[in-house]
Amino acid sequence: MAIGEYKPGLEGVPATQSNISYVDGKAGLLEYRGIRIEELCVHSSFLETSYLLIFGELPTSAKLKEFEVDITHRRRIKYRIRDMIKSFPDNAHPMDALQTSVAALGMFYPLGDFHDADYIYQATVRLLAKVPTMVAAFHMMRQGNDPVMPRDDLDYASNFLYMLNEKVPDPLAARIFDVCLTLHAEHTVNASTFAALVTASTLTDPYAVITSAIGTLAGPLHGGANEQVMMMLEEIGSVDNVTAYLERKIERKEKLMGFGHRIYKVKDPRAIVLQELVHKMFDQFGHDHYYDIALELEKQAFEKLSSKGIHPNVDFYSGLVYKKLGIPSNLFTTIFAIARVPGWLAHWKEQLSDNRLFRPTQVYTGLHDVTYLPIEHR
Ligand code: ACO
């Protein structure tokens, strides 16, 4: 087979066929299984959307109830996993803690038969249920506290927020958080999903698949950008400093965190929904001056960078919502991970249905026929 043209970062190269989600980067459109994200944010819940992504259709109310109950009943983590998390360094990054915890989960639930729908369902439910618990457990234990046990009477979003500080959240705050999860649940073949696909294609277990994806999401060019955005807004400090900050960034050819996207050449539709959520949060819980800085930065960046198709992406406004919810910024990317679990699992399931091992080729740029030089002659 002839080797095709090398595309750095595989830009524009289809890596798979998929019917899970669709992005139109020029129109600013994102659909999950054909349904526009804006519609899901208004009418659906994160768990219903997860079901849609993973099983390909919206559930009946009986199916949704069963899915929710199954997840609720599997939220607890084994004491051995809790003990392991307790031994992590307090200053470990929560994404590293989560990646290690998910990898460890795989030791407790052995590999099953990929043709067995029940095995797939149980692994799916377990990962959706336990990832938030592991994030919250590390957060509590790094502060020297016992982890907060999940509460079966709380929905998915409320329970996660509750496990972070043992306070039942305001219902509006929980609903807004649930919408944030829905918004981040899936996004075609991005870097972490591609990592998941490659790992899945070796027929390893689903915990290894999600572990790979988490490691990939953590980087600042991908999911790690939401934490970096908050650091950037803090560094700017006030609206008056925006112009100088932006000029400095452009002069040094440094990237603005939360801006730009491989696919979107207009404002990311998720950033638009997130901005609406920011307004809702502020109406209810008070304004945050970092939003004024973000708005001014977006305005000035538009003048300087929009001709290159650089606009705010999903990570630009998400941190402002999480901050208002009282979540520390180094947990932001773990929230992205919690939200993306259904997307990764949907791709895992799709990959298994028609698997072929990923094994691309390379353009070799090295030497040939080099004579080995003995160490004393080097
Ligand atoms: N700020 C300033 N300039 C930018 C930015 C940015 N955030 N992003 C891209 N550019 C510029 C580049 O400097 C380059 O300019 P040039 O042609 O003059 O050299 C041009 O746009 C193309 O940039 P690339 O990095 O090649 O584009 P790519 O498609 O690889 O970029 C990426 C995508 C990695 C997301 C990039 O925009 C970026 O690094 N953004 C900041 C990090 C970020 O917010 N990541 C989150 C993305 S969303 C997500 O993963 C969930």
Ligand 1 site, residue 162, Cβ cutoff 6 A = no
Annotation marks residue 261 as catalytic = yes
- 153 Cβ partners below 8 Å, 6+ apart? none
Structure tokens at 72: 């609720």
- Give percent of the chain with pLDDT exceeding 90: 98
Q: Tens of pLDDT along 43-72?
A: 999 999 999 999 999 999 999 999 999 999
pLDDT band at 113; cut points 50, 70, 90 = very high
Q: What is the residue with the minimal CA distance to atom 50 of ligand 1?
A: 222
Q: Tens of pLDDT along 190-228?
A: 999 999 999 999 999 999 999 999 999 999 999 999 999
Q: Tens of pLDDT along 311-340?
A: 999 999 999 999 999 999 999 999 999 999
pLDDT band at 309; cut points 50, 70, 90 = very high
Q: What is the pLDDT of residue 343?
A: 98
Q: Active-site residue among 261, 268, 311, 347? A: 261
Q: What is the residue with the minimal CA distance to atom 34 of ligand 1?
A: 221
Q: What is the pLDDT of residue 134?
A: 98
CATH architecture of 32-221+333-353: Orthogonal Bundle (1.10)
Cα gap 177→323, rounded to integer Å: 11
Cα gap 261→263, rounded to integer Å: 5
Indicate which atom in ligand 1 lies nearest the CA of residue 229. 44
pLDDT band at 4; cut points 50, 70, 90 = confident
pLDDT band at 1; cut points 50, 70, 90 = low
Cα gap 39→28, rounded to integer Å: 14
Average confidence (pLDDT) over 11-27: 96
Q: Which CATH class is domain 225-324?
A: mainly alpha
Q: Active-site residue among 178, 205, 268, 315? A: 315
Checking if the pLDDT of 157 tops 90, the result is: yes
* Averaged pLDDT score across all residues of the chain: 96
Ligand 1 site, residue 314, Cβ cutoff 6 A = yes
Place of tokens 């190269």: 13
Nearest CA to 177 out of 338, 35, 300 is that of 338
Average confidence (pLDDT) over 335-359: 98
What's the gap in Å between 255 CA and the centre of ligand 1?
6
CA distances 265 to 7, 23, 258, 305, 313, Å, are 19, 11, 13, 11, 10
pTM (2 d.p.): 0.96
Place of tokens 């040094």: 252
To which H or E segment does residue 69 belong? helix 61-72
Domain ranges of the chain: 32-221+333-353, 225-324
Structure tokens at 125: 């439910």
Annotation marks residue 292 as catalytic = no
Structure tokens at 45: 């819940």
Q: What is the pLDDT of residue 2?
A: 65
Q: What is the pLDDT of residue 110?
A: 85
Cα gap 152→37, rounded to integer Å: 28
Ligand 1 site, residue 343, Cβ cutoff 6 A = no
